[in-house]
Amino acid sequence: MICRRQLKNNMERKLKPVVYTTNYFKRGTQNTTQQMFLLKALQVTQDPKKLKEMIGVKTVAEVYRTLDKLAMRREYHESLARYGISFDFIVNGLKDLAVDSIKDGDKLKAYQTLLKSVGMDTYDGDATGSTGTWEELLLKKMEEEKTLPSGASEPVGLEEYTVNAPVIPESVRKSQAEEDEVLSTIYDIKPEGAAK
Protein backbone atom coordinates (compact mmCIF):
# COMPACT_ATOMS: atom_id res chain seq x y z
CA MET A 1 0.00 0.00 0.00
CA ILE A 2 1.12 3.47 -0.77
CA CYS A 3 1.03 5.76 2.20
CA ARG A 4 -0.23 9.30 1.91
CA ARG A 5 3.23 10.78 2.22
CA GLN A 6 4.53 8.80 -0.77
CA LEU A 7 1.46 9.71 -2.79
CA LYS A 8 1.93 13.38 -1.93
CA ASN A 9 5.65 13.21 -2.89
CA ASN A 10 4.77 11.58 -6.19
CA MET A 11 2.19 14.24 -6.97
CA GLU A 12 4.68 17.00 -6.16
CA ARG A 13 7.29 15.52 -8.50
CA LYS A 14 4.70 15.17 -11.28
CA LEU A 15 5.92 11.84 -12.56
CA LYS A 16 5.73 11.29 -16.29
CA PRO A 17 3.87 8.30 -17.72
CA VAL A 18 5.76 5.20 -18.81
CA VAL A 19 6.44 5.19 -22.53
CA TYR A 20 7.32 1.94 -24.31
CA THR A 21 9.58 2.19 -27.31
CA THR A 22 10.74 -0.42 -29.77
CA ASN A 23 14.12 -2.01 -29.31
CA TYR A 24 16.45 -1.48 -32.24
CA PHE A 25 19.12 -3.86 -30.93
CA LYS A 26 18.73 -7.29 -32.53
CA ARG A 27 21.23 -9.26 -30.48
CA GLY A 28 19.05 -12.32 -30.07
CA THR A 29 17.94 -12.70 -33.67
CA GLN A 30 19.31 -15.22 -36.12
CA ASN A 31 21.08 -13.09 -38.75
CA THR A 32 21.80 -15.78 -41.31
CA THR A 33 22.12 -13.31 -44.18
CA GLN A 34 24.76 -11.27 -42.35
CA GLN A 35 26.60 -14.48 -41.53
CA MET A 36 26.74 -15.46 -45.20
CA PHE A 37 27.90 -11.95 -46.17
CA LEU A 38 30.55 -12.11 -43.45
CA LEU A 39 31.88 -15.43 -44.76
CA LYS A 40 32.23 -13.94 -48.23
CA ALA A 41 33.77 -10.72 -46.86
CA LEU A 42 36.34 -12.68 -44.84
CA GLN A 43 37.76 -13.95 -48.12
CA VAL A 44 38.65 -10.35 -49.01
CA THR A 45 39.83 -8.82 -45.72
CA GLN A 46 40.26 -9.48 -42.01
CA ASP A 47 39.97 -5.83 -40.93
CA PRO A 48 36.89 -5.46 -38.65
CA LYS A 49 36.21 -1.90 -39.81
CA LYS A 50 36.15 -2.90 -43.46
CA LEU A 51 34.06 -5.98 -42.59
CA LYS A 52 31.58 -3.69 -40.86
CA GLU A 53 31.14 -1.70 -44.05
CA MET A 54 31.01 -4.75 -46.29
CA ILE A 55 28.25 -6.58 -44.42
CA GLY A 56 26.25 -3.44 -43.67
CA VAL A 57 26.21 -3.28 -39.87
CA LYS A 58 26.52 -0.19 -37.71
CA THR A 59 29.23 -1.19 -35.25
CA VAL A 60 32.30 -3.40 -35.12
CA ALA A 61 30.72 -5.16 -32.13
CA GLU A 62 28.02 -6.50 -34.46
CA VAL A 63 30.75 -8.01 -36.65
CA TYR A 64 32.12 -9.85 -33.62
CA ARG A 65 28.62 -10.93 -32.55
CA THR A 66 28.02 -12.33 -36.04
CA LEU A 67 31.31 -14.24 -35.85
CA ASP A 68 30.27 -15.64 -32.47
CA LYS A 69 26.91 -16.75 -33.87
CA LEU A 70 28.70 -18.48 -36.75
CA ALA A 71 30.95 -20.31 -34.33
CA MET A 72 28.04 -21.35 -32.11
CA ARG A 73 26.05 -22.51 -35.14
CA ARG A 74 28.95 -24.64 -36.32
CA GLU A 75 29.43 -26.16 -32.85
CA TYR A 76 25.70 -26.87 -32.63
CA HIS A 77 25.66 -28.63 -36.02
CA GLU A 78 28.72 -30.67 -35.02
CA SER A 79 27.11 -31.73 -31.73
CA LEU A 80 23.90 -32.72 -33.54
CA ALA A 81 25.96 -34.87 -35.91
CA ARG A 82 27.90 -36.45 -33.01
CA TYR A 83 24.66 -37.57 -31.38
CA GLY A 84 23.21 -38.85 -34.66
CA ILE A 85 20.54 -36.19 -35.11
CA SER A 86 20.00 -35.47 -38.79
CA PHE A 87 17.06 -34.82 -41.09
CA ASP A 88 16.82 -38.59 -41.62
CA PHE A 89 16.51 -39.06 -37.86
CA ILE A 90 13.73 -36.45 -37.61
CA VAL A 91 11.76 -37.76 -40.59
CA ASN A 92 12.12 -41.34 -39.33
CA GLY A 93 10.79 -40.27 -35.92
CA LEU A 94 7.79 -38.56 -37.51
CA LYS A 95 7.16 -41.63 -39.66
CA ASP A 96 7.29 -43.89 -36.60
CA LEU A 97 4.81 -41.62 -34.81
CA ALA A 98 2.48 -41.61 -37.80
CA VAL A 99 2.55 -45.39 -38.16
CA ASP A 100 3.00 -46.78 -34.66
CA SER A 101 1.14 -44.35 -32.39
CA ILE A 102 -1.73 -45.73 -30.36
CA LYS A 103 -3.65 -42.47 -30.16
CA ASP A 104 -5.24 -41.17 -33.34
CA GLY A 105 -4.50 -37.60 -32.26
CA ASP A 106 -0.76 -38.32 -32.20
CA LYS A 107 -0.96 -39.90 -35.65
CA LEU A 108 -2.88 -36.92 -37.00
CA LYS A 109 -0.34 -34.44 -35.59
CA ALA A 110 2.54 -36.43 -37.11
CA TYR A 111 0.83 -36.45 -40.51
CA GLN A 112 0.11 -32.72 -40.24
CA THR A 113 3.75 -32.04 -39.43
CA LEU A 114 4.87 -34.09 -42.42
CA LEU A 115 2.40 -32.31 -44.68
CA LYS A 116 3.54 -28.93 -43.39
CA SER A 117 7.17 -29.85 -44.06
CA VAL A 118 6.40 -30.46 -47.75
CA GLY A 119 4.19 -27.37 -48.02
CA MET A 120 0.84 -29.13 -48.25
CA ASP A 121 -0.60 -28.04 -44.92
CA THR A 122 -3.37 -25.86 -46.37
CA TYR A 123 -6.25 -26.98 -48.52
CA ASP A 124 -8.45 -24.52 -50.33
CA GLY A 125 -11.72 -26.34 -51.03
CA ASP A 126 -13.30 -23.35 -52.76
CA ALA A 127 -10.61 -23.08 -55.41
CA THR A 128 -11.73 -24.09 -58.87
CA GLY A 129 -9.27 -25.74 -61.18
CA SER A 130 -5.52 -25.80 -60.86
CA THR A 131 -3.51 -23.22 -58.99
CA GLY A 132 -0.79 -23.66 -61.60
CA THR A 133 2.01 -24.89 -59.36
CA TRP A 134 4.78 -26.91 -60.95
CA GLU A 135 3.92 -29.92 -58.80
CA GLU A 136 0.36 -30.05 -60.11
CA LEU A 137 1.53 -29.64 -63.70
CA LEU A 138 4.01 -32.46 -63.21
CA LEU A 139 1.33 -34.74 -61.77
CA LYS A 140 -1.01 -33.86 -64.63
CA LYS A 141 1.71 -34.67 -67.17
CA MET A 142 2.41 -37.99 -65.47
CA GLU A 143 -1.29 -38.86 -65.61
CA GLU A 144 -1.38 -38.01 -69.32
CA GLU A 145 1.56 -40.33 -69.93
CA LYS A 146 -0.17 -43.16 -68.07
CA THR A 147 -3.35 -42.89 -70.15
CA LEU A 148 -2.08 -43.66 -73.64
CA PRO A 149 -4.43 -44.29 -76.55
CA SER A 150 -4.82 -47.94 -77.46
CA GLY A 151 -1.97 -49.21 -79.59
CA ALA A 152 0.25 -46.17 -78.94
CA SER A 153 3.71 -46.95 -77.64
CA GLU A 154 4.55 -43.45 -76.44
CA PRO A 155 2.57 -40.44 -75.26
CA VAL A 156 0.89 -38.45 -77.99
CA GLY A 157 2.49 -35.11 -78.76
CA LEU A 158 5.83 -35.88 -77.13
CA GLU A 159 8.86 -35.87 -79.37
CA GLU A 160 12.22 -37.30 -78.50
CA TYR A 161 15.12 -34.92 -78.50
CA THR A 162 18.69 -34.87 -77.31
CA VAL A 163 20.23 -32.28 -75.04
CA ASN A 164 23.64 -31.01 -75.98
CA ALA A 165 25.42 -29.78 -72.88
CA PRO A 166 27.24 -26.48 -73.46
CA VAL A 167 31.00 -26.31 -73.13
CA ILE A 168 31.98 -24.74 -69.81
CA PRO A 169 34.73 -22.11 -70.18
CA GLU A 170 37.95 -22.65 -68.26
CA SER A 171 37.46 -19.43 -66.23
CA VAL A 172 34.08 -20.68 -64.97
CA ARG A 173 35.58 -24.06 -64.06
CA LYS A 174 38.31 -22.34 -62.04
CA SER A 175 35.80 -20.15 -60.18
CA GLN A 176 33.63 -23.23 -59.43
CA ALA A 177 36.67 -25.08 -58.10
CA GLU A 178 37.55 -22.08 -55.88
CA GLU A 179 33.98 -21.94 -54.55
CA ASP A 180 34.07 -25.69 -53.81
CA GLU A 181 37.32 -25.20 -51.93
CA VAL A 182 35.85 -22.34 -49.87
CA LEU A 183 32.73 -24.40 -49.12
CA SER A 184 34.85 -27.30 -47.95
CA THR A 185 36.69 -25.06 -45.48
CA ILE A 186 33.54 -23.56 -43.95
CA TYR A 187 32.32 -26.76 -42.31
CA ASP A 188 35.31 -28.97 -43.13
CA ILE A 189 33.23 -31.07 -45.51
CA LYS A 190 33.40 -31.73 -49.22
CA PRO A 191 30.52 -30.23 -51.23
CA GLU A 192 28.53 -32.58 -53.43
CA GLY A 193 30.10 -33.08 -56.82
CA ALA A 194 33.56 -31.96 -55.68
CA ALA A 195 36.59 -34.00 -56.65
CA LYS A 196 37.62 -36.48 -53.96
All residues at 6 or more sequence positions from 27 whose CB lies less than 8 Å from its CB, including other chains: 65
Q: Does 94 fall in a domain?
A: yes
The DSSP-derived string for 6-18 is HHHHHHHHTPPPP
- Is residue 100 in some structural domain? yes
pLDDT, residue 96, reads 92
* DSSP string over 48-60: HHHHHHHHT-SSH
Per-residue pLDDT tens over the stretch 86-118: 888 988 999 999 999 999 999 999 998 888 887
| CA distances from residue 46 to 1, 43, 49, 128, 130 in whole angstroms, order as listed | 59, 8, 9, 57, 52
Residue 69 sits at φ, ψ, to 5 deg, of -65, -35
Residue 80 inside a domain? The answer is no
Q: What is the pLDDT of residue 93?
A: 92
**pLDDT at residue 22 in the model:** 58
pLDDT value at residue 180: 84
Does residue 12 sit within a domain?
no
The boundaries of the domain holding residue 90 are 86-120
Q: Does a structural domain hold residue 103?
A: yes
Helix (H) or strand (E) holding 67: helix 60-82
11 in a domain, yes or no?
Answer: no
Please identify every stretch of the chain with a pLDDT value under 50, giving residue numbers as ranges.
Answer: 126, 196
Say if 98 falls within a structural domain: yes
pLDDT on residue 116: 84
Residue range 61-84, pLDDT digits in tens: 888 888 888 888 888 888 888 898
Q: Give the count of domains, the chain.
A: 1
Residue 91 maps to a domain: yes
**pLDDT at position 190:** 55
The whole-angstrom separation of Cα 39 and Cα 32 is 11
Q: What are phi and psi of 155, to 5 degrees?
A: -60, 145
